[in-house]
Amino acid sequence: MKKNIVLFILFVLPIVAYLFFASGINSFTKLPIITPKVADFGNWKSLKNEKVSLNDKITILGFSGSNIFKNKGNFFNLNQKIYQQYHAFKDLQFVVVCPLGTEADAKKIVDALGSFTDVSQWHFVFTSPEKINTFYDQLKLVGKLDKDLGTPNVYIIDKKRNLRGRKEKKGYKEGYNTFHPSDLSNEMLDDFRVILYEYRAALKKNHNATKEL
């Protein structure tokens, strides 16, 4: 019996520990900055007629395109996999950039989500195609918007307006595909938790520093 325990400690336990840390390696490091200090929104119209800003918010950013209602399933996936778990976090917002003229379809999506979700942290903002292209281009992403000015991907912007994403073998993972629930519930959820951990750690550090003063 003792021999079996010794063999387990010497051979099996190190392998288990390695697999654990290897699978969660992104959870123990900071999420890299892909594009620093992206521009804030202009005075773009929102469904709620309120000013929406990237400043001092963790933002999940999307681009709906003109076929916003056709792609409504993407918003439901994002709502189910990420939003519903964390929408009570006051410094979080989900912002979707939409072309002018799609307000009615966006309202239908918000109303549908609102039938079973608190949608106070969902924001749909509207502007011209030219301004959407200009805003998207300054994100300096490899992927491009489609002909309808949309993409199934969403992006993580931190409180300092830095675009964040995980390091991969061939560069960085820029966005998370809302069409695939597995992409949201695995990689995005993991990376999103890293961002939350960063801010919670910073808050704790600042709190301790204040107590010392």
Domains in the chain and their CATH numbers?
31-212 (3.40.30.10)
Q: Which residue has the higher pLDDT, 210 or 145?
A: 145
Residue type, 202: A
* Predicted pLDDT at 131: 97
Is residue 25's pLDDT more than 50? Answer: no
**Cα 176 to Cα 187: distance, rounded to the nearest angstrom:** 8
How much is the pTM? Answer: 0.82
The Cβ-side half-sphere exposure at 10, using a 13 Å CA radius, reads 6
Is residue 209's pLDDT more than 70? Answer: no
User: What value does the mean pLDDT take over residues 153-182?
Assistant: 91
The Cβ-side half-sphere exposure at 193, using a 13 Å CA radius, reads 14
CB 69 within 8 A of CB 53: no
* Predicted pLDDT at 208: 52
**Cα 208 to Cα 191: distance, rounded to the nearest angstrom:** 26
User: What value does the mean pLDDT take over residues 65-81?
Assistant: 95
Mean per-residue pLDDT over the chain, rounded: 86
Strand partners, 125: 46, 97
Q: Which residue has the higher pLDDT, 48 or 157?
A: 157
Is residue 24's pLDDT more than 90? Answer: no
User: What value does the mean pLDDT take over residues 165-193?
Assistant: 89
Is residue 44's pLDDT more than 80? Answer: yes
38 Cβ neighbours under 8 A, 6+ residues apart:
54, 138, 139, 157, 161, 162, 163
Is residue 211's pLDDT more than 90? Answer: no
Token pair in block for residue 15: 């392998």
* Predicted pLDDT at 7: 53
